[in-house]
Structure 1
Amino acid sequence: MKAKRLSKAPRLDRLTTLPQTIIEIILCLLPIEEAARTSILSREWRYKWTTIPKLEFDESTVETSNKEITVKELRCKLFGAIHQVLLLRQAPILDFTLRISADDIHTYFEIDQIILHLSRNHTVMKLRLEFWGEISYRLPLSFFSLRQLTDLYLENCDIDHEPTFNGFGNLTSLSLRRLTISRKSLRHLLSNCPSLKSFSLVSSYLYIHSRGLPKLI
């Protein structure tokens, strides 16, 4: 009997041969840190994570081996990771989420830079900004350049600008929680979202500026 000849063909990487859209769906289901770690699997996987259209960053999920790390150091690590991911991007970001405590000037500056980057370099359609802290985060002017938005969630934000922007023509879903805004700006915002189908707010936390001090409604 002749000995069976051993096949020298390389093992088939079934994941790598999946369509790119399927790979992106799989990577989107992973935390961004885990998705980035797939770059060490092989040469083919090195940059696959840089094309996923959905990014989510949460301060509470930042991994650290140092249990005595300060809140400031934790935020620096998070922002460092965000900037690195944005720098390596090779495809548009369509869905972006940021959850963080925003209560100091340095944090505000970093968030401003992230929003500026998104407004200049990506066609973001879904945006969720969720901030904790006693002081609300004032949205920068670059925020109003995100004209392709279809879904927007804002928590603990301050829209303290004259209502001069042209609105969000594609916005279909708007959720506001603990928003600080003038009556004029709120009317202007809602009247310039012609495609809006879903609107929600937590009225007990929505502040409307009137004459003098803000009024809780």
Structure 2
Amino acid sequence: MCLCINLKGRKQKKKLTRQTVIETVTDRISCLPSHVIDHILSYLPIREAVRTSVLSKIWKNKWYTLPNLVFDRQGVFSEDALVNQSKLVKIVDHVLLVHSGPINMFKFSEYDLIDEVLVSDIDRWILHLTGRFIIKFVLEVLMEEKEEYYKIPWCLFSCQSLHYLKLQWCWLKPPKEFGGFRNLTSLDLNLVTMTQDVFENLISGCPLLEKLKLTEVDGLTQINIHAPNLKIFEVFGEFEGIRFHNTFQLVTVIVDSRLNLSPENNLRTLHGRSSKLLDFFDRRPHLQSLVIGSCFLKV
């Protein structure tokens, strides 16, 4: 009898030990530091990150501190291509409302035509984000009236925490007092409308800019660039010419534009004298990679 009791006690003890081990293994991920869990969740589409809230009470609010917020058809609605924009707005609103950590990146991509109602929602989101010290901002939207571009609200131009900015199908018209983005290192403008003066003031107002990509930018004739730290420059479209000033750190140049670079035209403008194409690149001591499209030269 005593032997049976002892054996039963041993079995119970062994069972408890096994259960403790199982619980320890189960909790191993949950007990990771918050920044590690945030990093893991950042690799998931936001739809999947939100679904982790059903794993346990511990995971219920883990996604509230997700640092990278990406809202697009693939990450949010990959299972329902016919979802309407009103549902999209509700999801973005909810995420921004409950989010309690820093937002490093916010990306919103909507390739369906957006109406004026959604425009006001985007304005509201940008205003909210400027107060959250966002680092990376990506906006890709297409207006219902194809002749019109989404006008970037003035509040974005006050966001000095930006390091990366990518805009597509947008219209840039900053306030007169705008002095540039002092911490911006990467700028990608695709199908953007802006004036010559706005562009030049924007570039010269970004002293830390290292990467610049321009694709079919409307409103520019001559591309004048003053960027002492610029290392990578890409341009696609049709322009009268390109002028670099104080850009001796250039490492990579990719040009696929229709330019008139005959000696009597563009290069003379660049250097104040007649020159050959090689003379221009001789002034780029750090240049390592040069890609020229087939339509670059027009002699």
TM-score bin (small chain): 0.7 to 0.9
Give the number of aligned pairs.
205
Q: Could you tell me how far apart the structure 1 residues matched to 2:79 and 2:41 are?
A: 25
- CA spacing shift, 1:163–1:183, aligned 2, 3 Å: farther
In the other structure, the counterpart of 1:30 is 44
Match of 1:111 among 97, 106, 122: 122
Of structures 1 and 2, the larger Rg is shown by 2
Which contiguous aligned blocks of 4+ residues in structure 1 show a shift greater than 4 angstroms? 64-67
Maintained 8 Å contact 2:168/2:190: yes
**Are the equivalent residues in 2 in contact too, given 1:125–1:151 (CA < 8 A)?**
yes
Of residues 132-141 and 56-65 in structure 1, the stretch that sits farther from structure 2 once superposed is 56-65
Q: TM-score, normalised by structure 2?
A: 0.63
**How much does 1:59 deviate?**
3.4
Cα deviation per residue 1:171-200 (whole Å; 9 max; x = unaligned)? 011111111001111111111001111111
- Confirm or deny: 8 A CA contact 1:169 1:193 kept in the other structure: yes
1:192 aligns with 2:205: yes
Tell me the amino acid that sits aligned with residue 167 of structure 1.
G
Q: Does the CA contact (< 8 Å) of 1:163 and 1:189 recur in 2?
A: no
Check whether the contact 1:96–1:126 (CA below 8 A) recurs between aligned residues.
Answer: yes
1:44-68: CA deviation from partner (whole Å, max 9, x where unpaired)? 111110111111000354438877x
For residue 11 of structure 1, give the secondary structure of its aligned residue in structure 2. Answer: helix
Unmatched tracts of structure 1, length 5 or more: 211-215
Question: Is 1:163–1:185's contact at 8 Å kept on the other side of the alignment?
Answer: no
Normalising by structure 1, what TM-score?
A: 0.86
Q: Secondary structure at the match of 2:109?
A: strand
2:52 is the alignment partner of 1:41: no
- Asked if the contact 2:179/2:201 (under 8 Å) is kept, the reply is no
Match for residue 98 of structure 1 among 104, 108, 113: 108
Q: How many Å separate the matches in 1 of 2:108 and 2:80? A: 23
Would you say 1:52 and 2:62 are equivalent positions? Answer: no
Q: Structure 1: how far apart are the matches of 2:174 and 2:183?
A: 21
CA deviation map 1:102-147 (0-9, x unaligned): 5421111111011011012x11111111123523111011111211
Tell me, yes or no, if structure 1 residue 165 matches structure 2 residue 175: no
Structure 2, unpaired ranges of 5+: 222-237, 240-299
Letter of the aligned partner of 2:117 in structure 1?
H
Give the alignment's Cα RMSD to 1 decimal. 2.2
Identity over aligned pairs, percent: 34
Cα deviation, 1:193-216, whole Å, max 9, x if unaligned, reads 0111111111xx211179xxxxx7
- Which residue number in structure 1 is paired with residue 286 of structure 2? none
Q: Give the Å deviation of 1:98.
A: 0.7
SS of the residue aligned with 1:185? helix
Counterpart selection for 2:190 from 169, 177, 190:
177
Greater relative CO (CA pairs within 8 A, separation 6+): 1
